[in-house]
Chains A and B, each alone.
Chain A
Amino acid sequence: MPRSRRLILALVTLLVMAACSSSDDTATGTGASTTAALTDPAKELRVGFTEDQYVLSGPDTSLAGYPLNTNVYEPLILMGPNYELKPLLAERWELRAPNTWRFFLRPGVKFHDGQPLNAQAVKTGLFDRVAKRTGGGTIKSGPNAAVVVDDLTIDFTPTTPNLRVPEQIVHPQNSVEAPGSDAGKKPVGTGPFTFVEYLPKERIVVQRNEAYWGSKAKLAKITYRFYPDSNARRLALEAGDIDFAYLIPGPDVQGLKSRGFNVLASPVGAYTALYANIHGNATHDLLQDVNVRQAVATGIDRKQLVDGVLDGQATTDQTMIPPGALGSAASTVKGFTYDPTKAKDLLAKAGWTAGGDGIREKAGRKLKLTLVSGFPSAEILRPIPTFIQSQLKLIGVDVAVVERPDSASYQALITSGDGDLYLEQGNQNDANAGFLPTLLFFKGAAGGGGSAPYQTLFAPGPTFDQLLAPAVTEPDPAKVRQHVADAMHEAIDVQAAILPVAGNFRTYGLTKKVQGFTPHSSFLSVRWEDVGLTA
């Protein structure tokens, strides 16, 4: 054989060998034997999720738990679809003043590996683990925060005063892991499903926990596939590759329904809002005038946005905090009614008169605002910025839209202060109504606040701080909701520092054969044990 042919043959052989070497053996888990045992397609649900964002080692390890919650793990307290608290691994809990929470654990619960769930396991697999996370997580755990009282009772004292622990501990990052397990390779919890296998960026498979302490799951197996692109996820649903798809974009909803799919919407669990830069530098100081802020707020027709632009896939709620999390206190926050005449009057009152091009002017300066859009991404927020731009032009405000592709580049523009209005879509993933306003806008000293760039630009002021301060230290959740609502009333209705745009719900697409699914306002807390498949 000539040298040239030998060389080519060798190269091709090498490449083919490399290509054909299967990488399936890199999957973590119990492997193919377990999967093969579950071959009944009627009992297998195929789910399409978004991006695989599991962290596989270190203190933030999140395989099978967050953000895709496969129900391998469980928290002490469950958050229902509309932010209500329900006992789960803890049968009950109580505050032992001033800052200690006592949890009474459910007897007879076992981890998937047979270990009993007891106070020591909760200390190791929850509180000590969370203490190693950045900042101790939302519940603020520390090395000595948890103390075992008896086999089924444990005390937890946060490192900073925090009476919101029960509302915060529902988050899937605060689930209980089996002591001694390797959470980055083989997650072991107490949940209704046990881990089978995980192929990074491809799929994760779980099967029914036959020894589950509660009602056993109806499904024998769930295979979750990752489809970061929402188009691919929808097409996979339409093609029959999957039975269930997370987070269907608004424009796809009607099309899916017309093709015979069910599309279920949760209660409002997220919000879209504009934050006004009310403490801006000389270049971005126009919103220091409350009249201008209120004019912007009343110049946006939210009904037209929701019905005409977002295809009805949002609400006109203006509480910023989802109404479900605020409960009856939600009515305290009034929001803004669309009134372009009033908006023009407010601008005139502030000294802004219409210029030749329709854009208002004052002392030779045009009323031009920069709207920054980018959290969680500019793509998710489109076409809201251009809608707002066209609406505000009608009242004589020129808006320049600056889009940022992701959170990090968006945050950079908050840090630099190079914007007047900042458009965000935030999520409420635990039941603590005061969490986001405390984190983002609160400048009081009582254990709250923290996001300095947000406070520098958006902090509504001392009245807001006074109203919100008890939200951290008040033991009664109902009173907390009222405190938070009062603070939001100040920030929205009085100061117009926060200009809510819409309430957002989670939309799930499923085939007709999927039964028993309850859409959850936080997709992190979806439960699967009641879901079944019809033949």
Chain B
Amino acid sequence: MRGYAVRRVLLLVPTLLGIALLTFFLSNLTPGDPADSYFSRLNGRSPSTEELQQVRVELGLDRPFAARFASFIGDAAQGDLDVSFSTRQPVAGELLRRIPFTLQLAVPAAVLALLIAVPAGVLCAVRRNRFTDQAVRLLSLAGASMPSFWLALLLIIVFAVKLHLVPVAGRGGLDSYILPIVTLAMVPAASLTRFTRSTVLETLNSDYVLTARSKGLGELRVVGNHALRNAIIPLLTSFSNSVAQLLAGAAVVETIFVWPGLGKLVVDAILERDYPTIAGSVLYAGITFAVVNLLVDLAYAVLDPRISLVGRRR
């Protein structure tokens, strides 16, 4: 297993290089000059030609693309992700500052999604095509289809503006966490509910479940010990994608709730053409996805002894 993990980590290097190159290339293709953006933001007016050139030199944009990319990669290898065009602060430091804020939403949202989805999905499977199943399926369809920004505004108007139970936005007391967490949890909860239902239904039709039932086991044990346990692997795959997305930052939700996490950082960086921050954030997202996938692959072997990550020896 150790060899497998090492190989996967080594594979990460060319993957991240590709991500960095693509991000750098696409950022530079975006219409508009970051120097112009930087100056206009600072001065509320367009720069003169002379001022624009000065800013370009200050931001290092007067160097060719290849030279900038090479120095970015060289510095990134040493943990230096350059300095933000917007705040003039180191990008690596800003990422480290923002990660806990994103985790403060992502972890509870992931747990909440799981706590909603697994019982609801199992319930639907057990009561297939009955009222409970239809009702939960309808709710989960609505949850999966509803755009986050719309749900967020709806929750804000009801619970913050009308009922005054929670603040509209911003990070403060514990009550300020409720709406963003619920909003964030809703989409993964809805899609995971539907996935749990179909996976458990599939296992409920398996021969070993039929055998368990014929042995006279109670329904709770049949579902819990046999059906659900065997459905865990595909569930884990689906859940891990949601977790990776949450950990990489939820741009829309963080923007609406003025949450200073990674999603908000990326949105701001794109709007401000802050190339170093865009590149740093995308690299972080790439690493997050790779690490989560690696952990999930390793977990497969732990959860299901039939799966081996080591090639069989002759």
Contacts and interface: CB of A to CB of B under 8 A. Distances in A.
Interface of A: 3-4, 7-8, 11, 15-16, 18-23, 26, 51, 53-58, 60-62, 66-67, 134-135, 173, 199-203, 225-229, 231-232, 235-236, 238-241, 375-376, 404-413, 426-427, 429, 436, 439-440, 449-454, 524
A228 B100 contact: no
7 contacts: A19-B108, A56-B89, A135-B51, A173-B43, A228-B258, A404-B32, A451-B49
A405 B273 CA distance: 12
Contacts of A228: 255, 258
Contacts of B103: 15, 18-19
A407 B37 contact: yes
Contact of B153 (A56, A203, A231, A429): A231
Nearest to B232: A4
A135 B86 contact: no
Nearest to A58: B88
Contacts, number: 174
Contacts of B39: 134
B170 interface: yes
Contacts of B295: 11
Contact of B161 (A7, A26, A239, A375): A239
A408 B32 contact: yes
A55 B258 contact: no
Interface residues of B, number: 60
Contacts of B219: none
A437 to B, nearest CB: 12
B50 A450 contact: yes
B51 A134 contact: yes
Interface string B182-222: 00000000000000000000000000000000000000000
A62 B42 contact: yes
B14 interface: no
B33 interface: yes
A241 B170 contact: yes
A19 B104 contact: yes
B32 A411 contact: yes
Most buried by A among B34, B48, B99, B273: B48
A-B complex: 8 closest residue pairs judged by Cβ atoms = A450-B48, A408-B32, A19-B103, A408-B37, A409-B32, A201-B260, A58-B88, A452-B49
A197 to B, nearest CB: 14
Given A22-B100, A408-B36, A409-B32, A227 B44 contact: no
A23 B257 CA distance: 17
B55 interface: yes
Given A60-B42, A232-B257, A436-B45, 17 more contacts: A7-B302, A19-B107, A23-B97, A51-B268, A53-B86, A56-B88, A57-B89, A134-B58, A201-B258, A201-B264, A404-B32, A408-B33, A409-B30, A409-B31, A411-B36, A427-B44, A454-B46
Interface string B129-173: 000000000000000000000000100110011001001111100
Nearest to B299: A7
Interface string B78-112: 00000000111100000001011101101110000
B237 interface: no
A234 B45 CA distance: 26
A201 B157 CA distance: 23
B225 interface: no
Nearest to B153: A231
Contact of B36 (A173, A240, A407, A454): A407
B47 interface: yes
A450 B49 contact: yes
Contacts of A57: 87-89
Interface in B257-300: 257-258, 260, 264, 268, 271, 273, 295, 299
Nearest to B267: A228
Given A412-B31, A454-B46, A236 B168 contact: yes
B54 interface: yes
Contacts of A407: 32, 36-37, 40-41, 46
A34 B166 CA distance: 26
B46 A23 contact: no
B256 interface: yes
B160 A235 contact: yes
A171 to B, nearest CB: 9
Nearest to A54: B87
Contacts of A53: 41-42, 86
A232 B271 CA distance: 19
A58 B60 CA distance: 14
Contacts of A19: 100, 103-104, 106-108
B88 A202 contact: no
Contacts of B48: 135, 439, 449-452
Contacts of A56: 87-89
Most buried by B among A21, A202, A436: A202
B70 interface: no
Nearest to A407: B40
Contact of B45 (A18, A226, A236, A427): A427
A409 B272 CA distance: 11
B303 interface: yes
A375 B36 CA distance: 12
Given A19-B100, A19-B104, A412-B33, A3 B302 contact: yes
A409 B46 CA distance: 12
A4 to B, nearest CB: 5
A426 B86 contact: no
A227 B303 contact: no
B260 A227 contact: no
A323 to B, nearest CB: 20
A457 B153 CA distance: 43
B107 A16 contact: yes
A408 B273 contact: yes
B110 to A, nearest CB: 8
B87 A55 contact: yes
Contacts of B44: 67, 427, 429, 524
B55 A239 contact: no
B228 to A, nearest CB: 14
Contact of A440 (B40, B46, B106, B302): B46
Contact of B169 (A22, A23, A232, A410): A232
A245 B164 CA distance: 18
Given A225-B258, A232-B169, A439 B46 contact: yes
A406 B170 contact: no
Contact of B170 (A23, A225, A240): A225
B50 A135 contact: yes
Contact of B171 (A202, A236, A238, A524): A202
Nearest to A416: B31
Contacts of B50: 135, 450
Contacts of B160: 235, 239, 241
Nearest to B163: A239
Given A23-B101, A199-B260, A450 B107 contact: no
A430 B255 CA distance: 32
Contact of B33 (A22, A411, A450): A411
A408 B40 contact: yes
A366 to B, nearest CB: 27
A427 B43 CA distance: 10
B47 to A, nearest CB: 7
A524 B49 CA distance: 25
Contacts of A66: 42
